[in-house]
Amino acid sequence: MHASALAAPSLREGLHWLSHHTGLPVMLVAAIAIVISWRVFKKAARLAIEVAVVLVLLAIATKLGWISW
């Protein structure tokens, strides 16, 4: 069984639970979850790119002998 097939029922149940306890419609809860997850993904991707750039710069500086560990 595919992982997304396993996650779908629990995601659906989570959205219904949150909708029930907040009083907001399921569609609104889902839209908010998508927007928040997209923003978190963008920040995480930006952080990963910055870390990769710094690692490359450190490797180059080490190779040129500017830094020794």
CA separation for the pair 54, 48 (Å, rounded): 10
Q: What is the pTM assigned to this prediction? A: 0.59
pLDDT in tens, 11-45: 888 888 888 888 888 889 889 889 999 999 999 99
Residue 24 is predicted with a pLDDT of: 84
Contact assessment for residue 29 and residue 18, using Cβ atoms and an 8 Å cutoff:
yes
**pLDDT at res. 7:** 62
pLDDT for 46 = 96
Give residue 58's pLDDT: 96
At 5, the pLDDT band (50, 70, 90 cuts) reads: low
